[in-house]
Structure 1
């Protein structure tokens, strides 16, 4: 408050000094002995400054970025000067009142990285007041080194306001007595008008009279058209007007408003009644006003500008100004569509305002996990041509951290392509996960090998070297699960299920959350805890918010209950007793809280657990079978990576041990989270720090007698997918469980969903005491009232150690599937059905009857594939061959005979959509890329078609294309060949600039040798017919 009062006091004194100076100079006009120019200079109104300029930028955010670099280099007084008349923000490293010091500073800067440093001279003092001169009597020449007087400018603008003088040259009427009248010292001051000579300026910008380049001042000569007559009787009125103005900034604004012309208008509703209080805005300027009680308005505009008129309850209207003098406008009542449009416009404006924030905010928001804003900011910078390694890295990581892998691959691809030797090992690992999530396994493995070469991560290195076919091994070791999406999923995120007694689950959701704001990380609403009813088959219905005091306006998620439903542990933002807690970086972390309930329904008595901290996150609690140990995820000191699995022991007196890390059998250099302990004491958790199927995968680990994990195993498909899979829980007694995933859709969903998981049927083989099963696959147990179990098979081809328990109370027949494993090889060659051409890089999958992918691989250069391993014999399988572009998917049934060791299956793929497989234009329905006559630049219409090519090349990074460009027949052959070559190069450059590796594109220019029609040299054609030939076409190599 004291600082504010001091500021007000200083400003008041400054304004008094300003007013006094103005009055003093005006008084000098009427003095017999006016103040000479020399004396005015001695008053120190003019103080020239010399700014050492190191950069000029079109966007203010980039200027701030440059300032940051300067300050890191020691230039603590670096600043942005007011925008120049050509719209550039100039950055000054240092400012001096002495030209010698300024020159020395500039020379020092030129020796470093600021080679283009130069000096900008401004003629205004620290209070932004222009010094100048008053020319008396017959003096008509200005000082060539000085800008127009600030006091003269004040008088000129006041006169313009009172006498409709706009500052333009006045036209003198022929015969005007005052035209050539000269006032000398003998003239009668009472009867003769005073003459103030005001030099006409070339630069009339209001940006503190900054010149665009150094030393650009030119002598200015005052002529008769620069003379404004001030009647003595008006002086007092002008002085009073000046004192009413608060600052020179107000005068500058007033001057700007003098441009253009005044138009008037009237605003009414559709019933003819005036609309008072409506807002009238000149778009692109600060000009605005409010209609009066009768709906009238007057506003200054220039031709070609647009007026936007709006009022509460009415539809917004935009009017372009041409030669109108009067506007009569009718506004209609707002419809529901208009309200939605206004809401969208308001949202877009808020987003644009955010984008205008400087680069420091983007970096700061990244550190605060505000990825939604980070993405907007860096995309804006890149689209403005300010692409850097840093911007690409921040953008790629923000999409990765937000699990938007389909967009992350675009920016990782561009980053690695442009800066392969300047990026960290971790970037290669994240890029590998991202490409794997999109099904680009070969690229993912290439990036993974690059990561391994740059790091000492032995966990990943040893596993990859020992399991080069890890995808196949993970699929082979997968459990026999089936999955189904639940009915509790909303339009937002739903995840983290946990059992809530015998007939409910508790989970996290953004649906109808308590807080109305959006979470910066993902742009979604904040999370609350919900419960849902669960039937005996695991179906979930009736999701409702949890009762009690747990849900707040911030995040609540990942809860776990004791068996008696008396105690709940849950995750929440660092928010307690109505206050948010922050770490030293102003970041709100996560904490685990404990809540109690008497009836298992209404929760309260919430307390924070003692091992939480403001400086790190603690989240995702899980309880051991005996409820004496609490597992959780945290990035506390001592973690191996970004988050680890830890545990604390719970003592009888409700105190806790110190946290203990589960160690390297579980934790990696990256992220482990969402622990769960099953009824059998098995630890399930999610990780993206191990080689898996992509993103977060679910793993299991048996625990020893001390509760420490043994080796970890990937659950494989269908639990795990290319995207994020986490939050796995399972009840053996119920026969089902749940997990969370963002796999919805081919490319995944930005939001998470809850899935139900069940154990599939197992093949149970029985051979009593070595007797053979009869021809009908039956056996008879004489002692049918006896139960039995642990029946084993002794055949090398049968599964062993499988058990079955059953009580025979009657002569029942027990049906069993007696299929068995056999070692068999399935192989073949993939060809084009029409041309019989061998096809490489075709994805071939072997799928079992339940829809599970057993093996998957790409065909080799010779078009071959081969699956070898243990397969259930006497069953029917499916082979699916897929080549994304050019061919239709092919599905074949294949039955595995029990006697065969090798099966050969060749597959022939058909063309898609009656298009040649290499005709990219036909396959993607791309309109021709046409060029203007004798031009090679890419038109807007052509760029829309090129975006289709760009998308498909990002989505399928193994596709290479050729660009074939053509001309029409006009012009010489040699000229047309060169022109078509330029068109092909320009088309390729458009794609390369947007992140496509140039090695994937072959260009060819055909000149006029391949016309699309008959318009050759001897045929007279219209322009539209000629343009068809000026084209670029695309083919797949």
Structure 2
């Protein structure tokens, strides 16, 4: 961002003249010709910089969002140029000293989505070299052919400056007016009056009245802009930029001289482990930030300022900022002798063991719901060999509360295995939900029965005892819907859709939030409200954030509007008038706010509802059909569980009744949320307190004449899945609706996406996992039955034709064997899981293929039945399934299997298979950035889910630097990537690392090839392959 330049102030004309007399006196020490050695090449001094501009914005937040998009696309040098008097912020993708490089980048951008890219030409200012520096340069010059008359000319020009200040100001003002008129709303430059826009049809040499230096012109001794300029209020020093950069390493010059620049950093302890939750402060300012899950941070700072970094249990470190591109900081543990009491634990005894301190901090963070930080702390504790019941319990629940069920399963399993007699009923229930989300229904039911034995929850107990086949029953009674993923989903969390008039929806997203901080619960950005256009078929496009007076730097979500779009209710953190509100435990709860609008676009008169409280949360509003009742979710006193559905009546005068709980037909001992009232007066809500298909399931309940719910029904598949499904809305008049789900994600709540739902055209059957059964066939018995006619003579000579059921099953010895290969390459595949399954889903035989790709089953089975053989090799191949019938002649079956690639990806290309964005590194750096960690979480999750998978990490550099240096750098990048995974619980033996240096470039940017920075960065990467 901005890099501030300090302006030296000279107090008097006497001091100024003294400087020039020193120069003149020193000239006597040299020949007339040698004074010319003070020359500064005018060509370099006046060399302009060319900014490639992709956007101009009135709001600074929008400019930051645009920068974020650019950096996601690999343009790491993107920055905001200084704001002009017009108040616009230009975003520069990159800056160059050569117009040919700028043109090259602009042309490439125009081929993509940045069709309006253009070039801004401007001159930058730097500090002038000191007199001593000029003289030293003079000593080193060899050409002695210039005249000393230039010095006298300089003095004349300096003395004339004072008298000409007013005229110069007029010139600058006119130049600015011409610039602003020419570029209209795009102008925002404070760089200098020497600004030129270069487009396809613009001549850069004639854009203004200021001359462009001729490269062949005779150099002057000293440019007048290189000396002191006397001003009415102060004496400023202006120097044109004297540095002509020759490589893209120098392309990170920041032109904003007012607000500092954003600098990235990473914080670790002396063992190389990241330190999340540490505080980074710019001393003397209000700038501060907390490090994320991986110890990464970004903060605004200027040269000359000092940054203080501190964390409980570690010694503080203060760093002065000069021209560093990044900060890799290591904090050491406080020594026992000099350790000071931290204010947060000043009333506690000094802890002798730092591990005990970490346990204390982890527990404290857990109670504050900082689950993203908690996970790393408890993983560190467990990895250190100090595993306890508490550490396993808190770690499992932190993943559960973040909807990261695949990882919760691992730690619940470990907790229950080690401490089977010390597990609470609630943890058994949460473990049951977690295993169910992974398709392990038998284990889930075992844990559920254990929960029932320890609790008096009659709702769950009675339902389970009366419906032991509940999965089949839910699927058979499923509503007839079809679903499709919408186009508004981002890389973050998107959920909670609601109709916004006739042609829009409003929803919540972390795509480009107003705040810069991260939410400690999930490690993601805070939520904002967005609107998207909706066509007649329900397709959604053009998501845009709602107005800034609604969105704040904290959470906004779950909004509902009246039909006339004049009143909106929405959820927000306890934040009003720029301040956060806290409860007695220092937690920030949720509240519902009301806003008014005349046109449905601009929202004002924002106020919180009177039944909110600092001591509990109120969220997710819904309005009745007549708009006289407001439903919501809350954990206020009187709730059955962690959150219940409540309602208040809205009176004619705008006041509200006391909140009323909807009762046990809806609410349970666990969580109910996201209510919605349809046009027919049907209540839809989500709950994880009933026996369903997975985590949160969507339910419906018809309301009686008083608006109270009757019995609740699970919507079944495809709305509900093994994971979380919530935020359901539907309009029968439109014929479609929407809901939210994380079913396709691997990052828990960070994978929430919005789906469109329509009434299906035909009935579709589903298996017990809530997945479509393509052939719609269900088998209802274990053995064949056939009808036989029996003709039996009786003594009275009557003949009867009766039917008799005969069991036709018979057992025989069978041998099934084969080879498994890649269908495309015919390569033999080892390690494929092959299963032999009966009609009831029971696995009779199961084994992994050997080195030669072979498998074999030998055993006694019922040869009258049908069987299935399945083969799976995660995650690069599609699963295989085929029916097997035992022939009546031979009991030896040869069954070769060919597996197909999944998603048109090479089977070992983990990046393609998981749709992982490239893990790119900053120039000459090897630490894992925050964005890279988001991609690594996908690999982490897959390795947890598939413990047999081993991977290789292959790291690369760009071509700049020596071969040996680049090889060492790529090794460090590979080791850092591996260390990130190992610290989070992956066995180091499962990861092979290789550093390739610059020997495997992705593009043509080899040595001596002129490439722009983003082209070089493509080569600075880590890629992943399955071994």
Q: Normalized against structure 2, the TM-score is what?
A: 0.45
Bigger relative contact order (CA 8 A; separation at least 6): 2
| Alignment TM-score, normalising by the size of structure 1 | 0.45
Larger Rg: 1
